[in-house]
Structure 1
């Protein structure tokens, strides 16, 4: 089990591991292939990471994003890190969103940031309480699919 803020994440939802971070599938993805890169050490803010942890997170993001873009037929990527509650961070643990993008997936490109903001409760978006979380089986299936692309020998 890994911790993601107050949440315990089962190994079945993890598809990538490095020395200082892990990749996990998203409970409520905005689009197919929306995944997270999370620091193994539970720290709230990006600047709380050590230099080694920050470098590992960025290099892991680079490695994971190449696979995500290809496997989910993206033509671009959105990277998002909401660093602190005023920035929209709802899980108090450093993490990077990797979201594959395609031409026309959002009429207004920046609307994706509204979908990332859980506090935007009036909008019927992916993190809204009206959105049904994926099942453990669905998340396991996606993690199993992605895991084959990575050497997870920490």
Structure 2
């Protein structure tokens, strides 16, 4: 597996993994936007989503689904943002491909200001939308 000794994500230890497959891991974001914010990454050091292999891509997508099930059971969020920032101009600050899975809760203020698109788009409770999921 490719490994970058200068990459903070490559330094993650198995004790920090929330979920793991053959090629992909998930762990809690150290600066979460909301309770349950997970990062999902390929184990191999790869900078951009565009550079993952077909097998890594399949496992990334499966891990997002598996992580959602875990977060549904643990935190019962009202919705999710699934975000990939690709490149500095798009807000990527750690250059190891990663997917943000961000649980959203009605009437909760986000905790982090930064480069995750949509983080301010959680509306106040709107009863007309609550039962559309």
Same fold (TM over 0.5): yes
The answer to whether structure 1 residue 34 and structure 2 residue 37 are counterparts is yes
C-alpha distance after superposition, 1:75-112 (max 9, x if no partner): 11111110111110000011111111111224xxxxx6
Runs of 4+ in 1 over 2 A off after TM superposition: 2-5
Provide closer, same or farther for how the CA distance between residues 12 and 74 of structure 1 changes in structure 2, counting only shifts above 3 A. same
Aligned to 1:11: 14
How many angstroms does 1:116 deviate by?
4.2
Counterpart in the other structure of 2:115? 117
Residue 73 (structure 1) shift: 2.0
In the TM superposition, residue 65 of structure 1 has moved relative to its aligned partner by: 1.2
Distance 1:46 1:4, change over 3 A: farther
Aligned residues: 111
Structure 1, gaps ≥5 residues long: 107-111, 119-154
Q: In proportion to residue count, which structure has more helix?
A: 1
How many angstroms apart in 2 are the aligned matches of 1:66 and 1:5? 32
Match of 2:63 among 53, 60, 70: 60
Q: In 2, Cα distance between the equivalents of 1:4 and 1:38?
A: 16
TM-score between the two structures when normalised by the length of structure 1: 0.65
RMSD of aligned residue pairs (Cα, Å): 2.2
Distance 2:70 2:94 in 1: 25
> Which runs of no fewer than 5 residues in structure 2 stay unpaired?
117-133
State the match for 1:92 in structure 2. Answer: 95
